[in-house]
Amino acid sequence: MTPDEVAASWVSYGSGWPGTNGEPILTPDALPTLGKTINLLITNCRGAKTRGILLLGFDEAQIPTLKGGDFLVDIYCIHPFGFADDQTRQIPLRLPCLAGLSVYFQALVFDPGAAEDVAGTKGLRPDLGLSSGDSDFGQGSGAGTPAAGDESARLGWRSRSLFYSSSSSPRPGRF
């Protein structure tokens, strides 16, 4: 198998739902190359201090919520995070060495200006690969990377995870 046979890439999919200042955006800052660390960047659509959750799954979904949008991930685990202000949240993600594995992410931001107080991003699927292949970063739908506005956060996933181990005991969970 050559690096070009398993090229790293990412794709945004589905529809998010807006908050006070539009739809929050979830993007990576680099191609998802095996064994590397990338940052997932999440914009704060509220424009003020708030909280959110990052959803991770191993399959795409379209599950209607009671908040007016859809879960775009078959949820395996969640990671709560916060915004100090109108910044972009940066969450580091160490990628496992499993070529061809697809994982799915979506972020939800708590925003009183959103319908039902929650805004959601489109889904994001980084396809883990050995190289970038022939394409430049940012060629997936949803290209464009917001500037990171804060320091990296250590993850405390609420489930067993291939990506990080929590300092607390792992707890399997569904949202």
C-alpha R_g of the chain: 15
Model confidence pLDDT, tens digit, residues 104-126: 999 999 999 998 899 999 999 98
Say if residue 132's pLDDT is above 70. no
- Domain ranges in the chain? 3-127
* pLDDT average, residue stretch 70-93: 92
Q: List residues bridging with 174 in a β-sheet.
A: none
Q: List residues bridging with 91 in a β-sheet.
A: 40
Q: What is the pLDDT at residue 9?
A: 86
- Could you tell me which CATH number the domain at 3-127 has? 2.60.40.10
